Amino acid sequence: MAPYAITELFGHWGANAVYLLIGFAFGAVLEMSGFGNSMKLAAQFYFKEMTVLKVMFTAIVVAMLLVFFTSAAGLLDFNLVWVPPTYLWPGIAGGLLMGIGFIIGGFCPGTSLVSAATLKVDGIFFVLGASFGIFLFGETIQYYEGFFNSSNMGRFTLPEMFGVDAGVVVLAVTLMALFMFWGAEQLERIFGKTDPKAAPRWRYGAAGAALAVALIVLVIGQPTAEQRWQRIAVEKQQLLDQRAVQIHPGELLNLLGDPLLQVIMLDVRTETDYNLFHILDARHAPVNSLSEAVPGLHGQPANTVFVVMSNDEVAATEAWKVLAAESVPNIYILEGGVNRWLDVFANAEFKTAYQRTSAQPDQLRYVPGAALGSRLPAAEPYEGQFELEFIPKVQLELKRGPSGGGCG
């Protein structure tokens, strides 16, 4: 299933060749669109020449339709597509600054490189100026680093913002783009004295095709976690059956003490059991709310290990399936759950005082007399106090890195 790891498919040099070809193709499209001409680019701000808006919105809409259509069809895993984190106020400020520079200089960073590549003097000067600006930014970032990293909303998309299905947003953006294309032609007619009738008639067919695909995406909808699991069940179920993802409490304790790793523990038990006892820093994350937390989990650093736990393993296994279906990397199950953790790390007095006489499957076997949470020694055991033998199972998966995009 796409997206594919290019380096794994073609090797280091092969991947670089692919990136080079994509770069050449992107630059060629910009040049053929006239984006190497600052006069053409600047004309959009005077409503005389709206090619920039048409080309960029066409690219955005086509990419959006292809991404969500292939995701709906099960050919693409959208969770593995890099979505840049949203920094709201710095993004607004940066957009305004870039817009001012675009008006004054006639280029954005990407189009200036196209112009410079064709040896246009204004493009070369713009690239030099942009490079000097990058240097100044790097030398002064410490003075406004707090603002630069403020209002971080993580991997935040329009469907999440409006609380609707992705298909609704796809259709809305497509309709908005078509309206903007029509409006751009009217602005060109009024300010640029151009005749819209002279434009190629096939654009109507293209608009109809885009609208049809958007409607298909809306009707099909995006796959649910259960549907995603069915596509990977054969491969992932083997890992569960072979006990390859169930890690010993001792290994979790070692992971928590490793300064090179970030460990996120997801406790999927009921709130009552969580309040009675939980491992220090474990997050309460009921299974039915895990899908909502997925965007935040995808935004974690590449050295993050996720460990799900329940009282035994029943609920934790279901949670693991949900996260595996959502392509969250490096997810493991606490072997034997919280009960096994207490078996290993709780002292004899605790076990004698609080052990339940009989316990049902995935039920807490040790019940303190009050909701003590993590205020028990067993919630934060000292690693050097125990000598445990276990087979390490955690292996960090290669996480897809960010990729550039857009005009800049």
Task: Indicate if the pLDDT at residue 362 is higher than 70.
Answer: yes
Same domain, 152 and 264: no
- What backbone torsions phi and psi does residue 337 show, to the nearest 5 degrees? 65, -160
Task: Indicate if the pLDDT at residue 401 is higher than 70.
Answer: no
Among residues 247, 279, 284, 248, which one has the least CA distance to residue 266?
Answer: 284
Query: Tell me, what's the pLDDT at 280?
Result: 95
Q: pTM for the complete prediction?
A: 0.78
Task: Indicate if the pLDDT at residue 357 is higher than 80.
Answer: no
| Domain range for 320 | 226-385
Q: Is 309 helix (H, G, I), strand (E, B) or coil?
A: strand
Residue 341: which pLDDT band, with cuts at 50, 70 and 90? very high
- The Cα 269–Cα 371 span in angstroms is 14
Q: Convert the pLDDT of each residue in 77-120 to its tens digit.
A: 888 888 888 899 999 999 999 889 888 888 988 899 999 999 99
Among residues 125, 135, 119, which one has the least CA distance to residue 105?
Answer: 125
Same domain, 366 and 256: yes
CB of 308 closer than 8 Å to CB of 266: yes
- The Cα 369–Cα 68 span in angstroms is 51
Same domain, 146 and 237: no
- The Cα 154–Cα 299 span in angstroms is 6
Residue that finishes a domain, picked among 223, 244, 271: 223
Residue 398 in domain: no
What is the domain count for the chain? 2
Residue that finishes a domain, picked among 189, 223, 257: 223
Among residues 36, 56, 49, which one has the least CA distance to residue 119?
Answer: 36
Q: Is 107 helix (H, G, I), strand (E, B) or coil?
A: coil
Angle at 230 between CA 228 and CA 233, to 5 degrees: 110
Same domain, 194 and 304: no
Q: Is 214 helix (H, G, I), strand (E, B) or coil?
A: helix
Query: Tell me, what's the pLDDT at 141?
Result: 94
Query: Tell me, what's the pLDDT at 180?
Result: 94
Same domain, 290 and 202: no
